[in-house]
Chain A
Amino acid sequence: MSAVGSSNPEYVVARVRARRGSLYSDEEYRKLTRMSPSEIARFMEESTYEAEINALGSRHAGVDLIEYALNRNLAKQFEGILDWSEGGLYDLIARYLRKFDAWNVKTVIRGVYTGASQEEVEVDLIRAGEFDDRRIRRLLEADSIEAVVEVLEDTIYGAPLREAYAEYEETDVLVPLENAVDRVFYERLLGNLPGDEPTRQYEAFLKAEVDFRNADNALRLARSGAEIDPAEYFIEGGELFTRDTLARLARNLDELVEYIAESQYADELGPALRELEEADSLIAFEHATDAALLAYGDRLGTIHPVSVTPVISYILAKEREVENIRAIARGKEAGLPANEIEEELVIT
């Protein structure tokens, strides 16, 4: 419920375990890959997604219905976890779930920028972060980017957005604002973590996520050849890169690939790096980082069963379930064969 008071991991972990049991299994994914989008929606209606499918069924149809129901269910599940959590546990979970706040801020900014209607923006929001309904309502009612920045003035995004707004006014592109929001999220993710053993494990996981994000971005920059300073996109807190290393390596793709291949992540990312060299596509690499994080999360959940780690492990698994179902539905909509869709799924 709040960061005040003592942690209650026993209660939250017990509830999360119960929810973990209702996540889709490999067999269910295989069934889904052989269904049409409407059959997938019907299948979801008979599982934990029933309420969302029924609530949204009159307004949306097909794969849009599935995607919006998935997002709403994700928000409900994570909101529940934040509601049950107290004390230090709340803080540890909230700092991870703030990525949905960052997502919502970026979605609102993009909506205002392109002149999208309030309803159009609202369906794209995922209310799984810390922002309450009142703040989200105020964000949706903002009619200019300056008004969005004002609404967020008293949040962690306030000062960085105010700073980025000046640059936005000069250039009229959203990149500085979006980067400011993402950067705040990653900086807060690793700042001032308590020092107990489960939290250190959690910290190691977060550092791996930051490392993977830095590696993804460095590879994207190196491959694109764009005239961008790689240090601008560097996220502090990881172990794989320093700002200078990243700036140097992002200018040479071969050196960067070699550096990652020789790092502590060689086992997890090695095959994907070889594929990157052969196919010149970063998708397999991003796939490998996703799978590595998910496996890492699963391992963490079993090492310290009564701590924040099983909760984070569930959050990752739930996110992955949502992404897998969406991938299956969108893949079916696009007419991709079942085996190709199965290849895209990340299942551990």
Chain B
Amino acid sequence: MAKDVKPTRKNLMAIEDRIDLSERGHDTLEQKRDGLIMEFMDILDQAQDVRSDMADDYERAQRTIDMARAMEGDVAVRGAAAALKEHPEITTQSKNIMGVVVPQIESSKVKKSLDERGYGLLGSSARIDEAADAYEELLETIILAAEVETAMKKMLTEIETTKRRVNALEFTLLPQLYENQEYIEQKLEEQEREEIFRLKKIKAKKEDEEAAEAAEAAEAAEAADAAETADA
């Protein structure tokens, strides 16, 4: 991998910049991950409570409607349910938890008073009222559970993504950058050593040549002196 990088000083500087940026990113993402996990744990507790409430409410609602169907008859219960005019409404907004956009569900017209349920009081019974009460409560809990559980799932996805990013930086990108940095540094050092060696070589060669030239010159001078002496 590192062999693909040109061992130049410019690349080394660029890699050092990237290492710096990645380390800072890694620290920030780690903090974000820890923060998300803390928020998630809070939401998880809430979701567990809501889930348990929902199971209880469902059981109670199912029981009241079973009793209403048993004592009043299926026809009466269906008739009372059919009389409802104003159906519950749901509006969704969003809120931001550490950069994660989660839904905020607002409901209206879920809880109804006796006169808003549409069935006549004279021809119905308390069993139908209790079944309607129980289902209205269940619906409210379901809406809350939808909000909390969607937030929980979104947080979980975000934690996973952040964790993958932290791990990618920690175990892939940063080690690779360190390796490249080391490779370039080694290469540059090697090049430096080679350069010094080469310079030394040149210097030695130059000195040898100069010595040879000096010897030659000395020899020539000696020969000229000898000739002059012979002439004389």
Chains A and B belong together in one complex: yes
- What's the Cα separation between A213 and B126 when bound, in Å? 11
Judge if B70 is at the interface, Cβ distance under 8 Å. yes
- Known contacts: A67-B75, A182-B120, A344-B71. The answer to whether A116 contacts B82 by CB under 8 A is yes
Q: Which residues of A have CB within 8 Å of B116?
A: 226
Chain A residues with CB below 8 A from B125, complex form: 216, 286
Contact A67 B73, beta carbon cutoff 8 Å: yes
Determine whether the beta carbon of B74 is less than 8 Å from that of A330: yes
Residues A220 and B82 in contact, CB atoms below 8 Å apart: no
Q: Chain A residues with Cβ under 8 A from B188's Cβ? A: none
User: Number of residues in A with C-beta < 8 Å to the partner?
Assistant: 55
Considering the chains assembled together, what is the distance between the CA atoms of A102 and B124 in angstroms?
Answer: 12
Known interface pairs A217-B121, A283-B126. Does A336 touch B71 (Cβ–Cβ under 8 Å)? Answer: no
CB of A331 closer than 8 Å to a CB of B = yes
Considering the complex, which residues of chain B in the window 96-136 have a beta carbon less than 8 Å from any beta carbon of chain A? 113-116, 118-123, 125-127, 129-130
Question: Counting CB contacts under 8 A, is A130 at the interface?
Answer: no
The DSSP consensus for interface residues of chain A is helix
Interface bracket on B: 20 to 34
Query: Residues 321-336 of chain A: 1 if any B CB is under 8 Å from the residue's CB, otherwise 0?
Result: 0010011111101101
Which residue of A has the minimal Cβ distance to B129? A220
Report the minimal beta-carbon distance from A231 to chain B, rounded to whole angstroms.
12
Complex interface: chain A residues within 8 A of B115 (CB): 175, 226-228
Most buried by A among B62, B66, B126: B126
Q: Does B67 contact A (CB under 8 A)?
A: yes
B74 pairs with A179, CB closer than 8 A: no
**Inter-subunit contact A285/B126 (CB<8 Å):** yes
Q: Which residues of B contact A106 (CB under 8 A)?
A: 79, 120, 123
The CA-CA distance from A235 to B122 in the complex, in Å, is 9
Q: Answer whether A110 and B82 are a contact pair too, CB < 8 Å, given A175-B115, A225-B113.
A: yes
Q: Do B66 and A331 touch across chains, with their CB atoms under 8 A apart?
A: yes
Contact status of A224 and B129, CB under 8 A, knowing A102-B123, A178-B119, A182-B120: yes
Residue of A with least CB distance to B133: A224
| Chain A neighbourhood of B113, CB < 8 A | 224-228
Interface presence of B83 (CB below 8 A): yes
B interface: dominant SS: helix
A114 at the interface (CB under 8 A from B): yes
- Whether the Cβ atoms of B79 and A331 lie closer than 8 Å is no
Residues of B within 8 A of A3 (CB): none
- Identity of the chain B residue whose Cβ is nearest the Cβ of A63 in the assembled complex: B74
Chain B residue contacts of A220, Cβ below 8 A: 114, 121, 126, 129
Which residue of A is nearest B77, CB measured? A330
- Residues from chain B with a CB closer than 8 A to the CB of A226 are 113-116
Asked whether A334 lies within 8 Å of B70 as measured between CB atoms, the reply is yes
Q: A63-B74, A213-B122, A331-B66 are in contact. List 20 more A-B contacts (CB 8 A).
A: A106-B120, A106-B123, A110-B79, A113-B82, A124-B78, A174-B85, A174-B120, A175-B119, A181-B120, A217-B121, A219-B126, A224-B129, A228-B114, A281-B126, A282-B129, A282-B130, A286-B127, A328-B70, A330-B66, A334-B69
Listed A/B pairs (17) with beta-carbon separation below 8 Å: A71-B73, A102-B123, A106-B123, A173-B118, A174-B119, A175-B121, A179-B122, A179-B123, A220-B114, A221-B114, A228-B115, A235-B122, A283-B130, A286-B125, A286-B127, A328-B70, A331-B67
